Chains A and B, each alone.
Chain A
Amino acid sequence: GAVVSQHPSWVICKSGTSVKIECRSLDFQATTMFWYRQFPKQSLMLMATSNEGSKATYEQGVEKDKFLINHASLTLSTLTVTSAHPEDSSFYICSASPGADTQYFGPGTRLTVL
């Protein structure tokens, strides 16, 4: 079946540093990748949608300069949280779509900013 991996699975960083999270589709090409954020005991919130080779489309209220998304190839998208602060601590989940019918989710990355 379709597998999506994320790396790292968890990360702890100091306030002010930047953190990069990778999302890979392992056995299929993903024309579109999505980044979600999940706060404790809440649902997922879509942050942005990225298509390979083009700029990401951000949801309203998501800072583009804060959350940098690069979709460099059909199997890799990265999310960089720049100048992270404690309020950025969250569970970040990516998903990849090979086409129009569904999305396959990664296992998530837990970010803790001290």
Chain B
Amino acid sequence: GEDVEQSLFLSVREGDSSVINCTYTDSSSTYLYWYKQEPGAGLQLLTYIFSNMDMKQDQRLTVLLNKKDKHLSLRIADTQTGDSAIYFCAAGSSGGYQKVTFGTGTKLQVIP
């Protein structure tokens, strides 16, 4: 089955850029997602990218996809203290219904 991996922790200074990396194993994954989870809350979909794209930008967020290496990254420009949260990468396949496999999450700590 699909395996999605992320580093566990990232610490950045306020105003710097944050880059959270993710790798997945199933080359047939069609949709790749980034979710944000604040303490005690559910997941919030930040953005997603189709496997036929290599970049997607949405305001401060930039997603890069290297399909050959099965590597996904999320860049947050001008990181703010409100960005402190756990970020989950997820990979989904299509067909019938979509089964999504989540990574373990990366805890982003923003230092003022």
Q: A106-B42, A107-B41, A108-B41 are in contact. Are A51 and B102 (CB under 8 A)?
A: no
Quote the shortest CB–CB distance from A41 to chain B (angstroms).
Answer: 8
Give the total number of A-B pairs whose CB atoms are below 8 A apart: 51
- B101 proximity list for chain A (CB < 8 A): 46
**B19 near A: Cβ within 8 Å?**
no
Of chain B, the residue at the smallest CB distance from A92 is B42
How many chain A residues have a CB neighbour from B under 8 Å? 22
Quote the shortest CB–CB distance from B77 to chain A (angstroms).
Answer: 23
Of chain A, the residue at the smallest CB distance from B94 is A100
Quote the shortest CB–CB distance from A40 to chain B (angstroms).
Answer: 11
Q: A43-B88, A43-B105, A102-B31 are in contact. Are A93 and B97 (CB under 8 A)?
A: no
Quote the shortest CB–CB distance from A98 to chain B (angstroms).
Answer: 11
- B40 proximity list for chain A (CB < 8 A): 110
- Alpha-carbon distance between A98 and B102 when the two chains are bound, in angstroms: 20
When the two chains form their complex, are residues B98 and A100 in contact, meaning their CB atoms are under 8 A apart? yes
- Alpha-carbon distance between A101 and B51 when the two chains are bound, in angstroms: 12
Contact with A along B65-99 (1 / 0, CB 8 A): 00000000000000000000000100010100111
Q: A101-B31, A102-B31, A105-B35 are in contact. Are A93 and B42 (CB under 8 A)?
A: yes
**A78 near B: Cβ within 8 Å?**
no
Interface centre among B88, B92, B100, B105 (most CB of A within 10 A): B100
- B99 proximity list for chain A (CB < 8 A): 46, 49
Considering only residues 35-81 of chain B, those with a C-beta below 8 Å from chain A are 35, 40-45, 48
When the two chains form their complex, are residues B97 and A105 in contact, meaning their CB atoms are under 8 A apart? no
B residues contacting A by CB (< 8 A) are 31, 33, 35, 40-45, 48, 88, 92, 94, 97-105
A residues contacting B by CB (< 8 A) are 6, 31-32, 34, 42-44, 46, 49, 51, 93, 97, 100-108, 110
